[in-house]
Every structure is written in C-alpha cells, then in structure tokens.
C-alpha cells in the first residue's frame, strides 16, 4: 500500500508542475491565468505567450503524463501493488492529469488535462493517440476551435480503442477501456466554460488554422 501511495503522490506532483505559469513568469513576467482565457494550459500559452512558448508548454505537459505513467509507476519498494502492471500505470497517469488540472503549486488552478492525458496515452496505447490526434487536427483545421477539437478527440478515444480491440485484434486492457469511457466526461467538465462561450458565440478560434474551410470557400468562387 505504501508503494502505491508513493507512486500516486509522485505522479500527482509531477503533473502539478505549473509549466505555463513558470514560462509566463520567465518570458513575460505575467501570471498567464490573468490573461487570455485564464487557463494555465498549452492553448492559452499559444494565444498569450506565442507559438514557441506554447509549443514548449504543450510538450512539457505531455511529458508529465508520459513520465508518470511510464517511469513513476515502476517505483518498487517490494512487491507490486497489483498483478496487472497496467493498473498502476493507468492510476499514475490519472494522478498526473489531476495534478495538471488541479496543481498544488498554484492554488489548485491549472490546465484542462488534454496534453497530460495525451502523454499518458503515449505510454499506454500510442496507436489510439495517433488516431485521436488525427481527429483533433481535422476538427482544428476545420473549425479553429481547440476546445471543440479536444472534446471530439476525447469522445473518439473509447471508440478507437474498441475498434482496435475488436477489429484489429490489438488487445486493449479492460481497465484502460473503462477509463477511456470516463475521460470524455472529465474533458467535457474541464471545458465547461468553453462550452458556455461556444453556445454564446464568444469562444475565440485560431482563424489562421482553418485551412480546410478556407480552401472550400476559395473553391466556391470559381
């Protein structure tokens, strides 16, 4: 039990590393939570701090999820807490996501868990991440809304895992399948303010990324 507790606590602390807040302080001398959407995640970093800082923040946030799932979960003081090591990996990843979303180092106000969740998925089932990433990019390049892209990718996750397991004979851990069904609800919850802004028409999009819509509008002129 002590072994598992240490893993979960360390995973939470790893996820709690407030990447965007630190980068905002270093590069601009600001608290990023007081600018843009007020979110301490990668998207707001892109919007407020620029693409270089935003990319760095996103990569570190992804790495937090991978590190907790792949490395911290392997800490052992004796016997493993579960016979199935995937359970410990999944729990470590979940704690990292919670740490990112509710960071203890910044008043429990962090990001929305998408990047760190992607990092967890890299360690657990990278093929599913790749398909969800394709879906994310397709929606992003069509609508320009990161929030819509994130929610759609999260909702597609259990569907993709089911297809990999059922039709491609790629065994998916039952625990991961269950967690994948819960994840979309968590992502929708963390994006609740975005959903309100989408309904009211106040959600800001990255217009320059709407390449598919631009192409279709150009073609309609001929």
Tens digits of residue pLDDT in 49-78: 999 999 999 999 999 999 999 999 998 876
Q: Does residue 220 lie within any of the structural domains?
A: no
Confidence bin at 17 (pLDDT 50/70/90): very high
The domain boundary, picked from 124, 159, 176, lies at 124
- Residue 192: its H or E element: helix 192-200
Task: Please give the span between the terminal C-alpha atoms of the chain, in angstroms, as a whole number.
Answer: 68
Task: Return the sign of the alpha-carbon dihedral for residues 102, 103, 109, 113.
Answer: negative
Characterise 169 by phi-psi region: left (phi > 0), alpha (psi -120 to 50), beta (else): left
Q: How many domains does the chain have?
A: 2
**What is the DSSP-derived secondary structure letter of residue 79?**
S
Instruction: Name the token pair of 112.
Output: 């929305």
Residues 89 and 175 reside in one and the same domain: no
The domain boundary, picked from 95, 124, 153, lies at 124
Distance CA 37, CA 5 (A): 34
Quote the Cα angle for 71-98-135, to 5°.
85
Domain that holds residue 172: 125-214
Return the minimum-mean-pLDDT range out of 122-131, 175-184, 203-212: 203-212
Distance CA 127, CA 134 (A): 11
Distance CA 160, CA 150 (A): 15
Residues 134 and 105 reside in one and the same domain: no
User: Residue 207: exposed, middle, or buried by beta-carbon count in 10 A (0-12, 13-18, 19+)?
Assistant: exposed
pTM: 0.90
Q: Does residue 167 lie within any of the structural domains?
A: yes
Residues 118 and 135 reside in one and the same domain: no
Does the pLDDT value for residue 10 go beyond 80? yes
Distance CA 21, CA 38 (A): 11
Quote the Cα angle for 146-19-35, to 5°.
60
Residues 3 and 24 reside in one and the same domain: yes
Q: Does residue 219 lie within any of the structural domains?
A: no
Note the pLDDT of residue 215. Answer: 53
């Amino acid at each position: 039990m002590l072994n598992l507790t240490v893993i979960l606590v360390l995973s939470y602390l790893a996820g709690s590393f407030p990447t965007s807040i630190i980068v905002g302080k270093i590069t601009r001398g600001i608290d990023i939570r007081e600018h843009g959407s007020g979110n301490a995640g990668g998207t707001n970093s892109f919007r407020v701090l620029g693409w270089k800082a935003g990319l760095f923040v996103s990569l570190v946030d992804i790495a937090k999820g991978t590190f907790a799932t792949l490395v911290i979960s392997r800490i052992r003081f004796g016997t493993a807490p579960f016979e199935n090591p995937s359970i410990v990996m999944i729990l470590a990843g979940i704690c990292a996501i919670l740490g990112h979303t509710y960071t203890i180092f910044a008043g429990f106000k962090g990001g929305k868990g998408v990047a760190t969740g992607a990092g967890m998925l890299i360690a657990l089932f990278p093929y599913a991440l790749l398909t969800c990433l394709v879906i994310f990019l397709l929606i992003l390049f069509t609508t320009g809304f990161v929030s819509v892209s994130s929610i759609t990718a999260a909702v597609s996750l259990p569907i993709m895992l089911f297809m990999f397991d059922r039709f491609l004979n790629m065994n998916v851990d039952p625990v991961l399948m269950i967690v994948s069904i819960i994840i979309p609800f968590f992502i929708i919850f963390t994006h609740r303010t975005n959903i309100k802004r989408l309904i009211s028409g106040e959600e800001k999009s990255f217009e320059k990324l709407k390449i598919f819509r631009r192409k279709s509008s150009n073609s309609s002129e001929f």
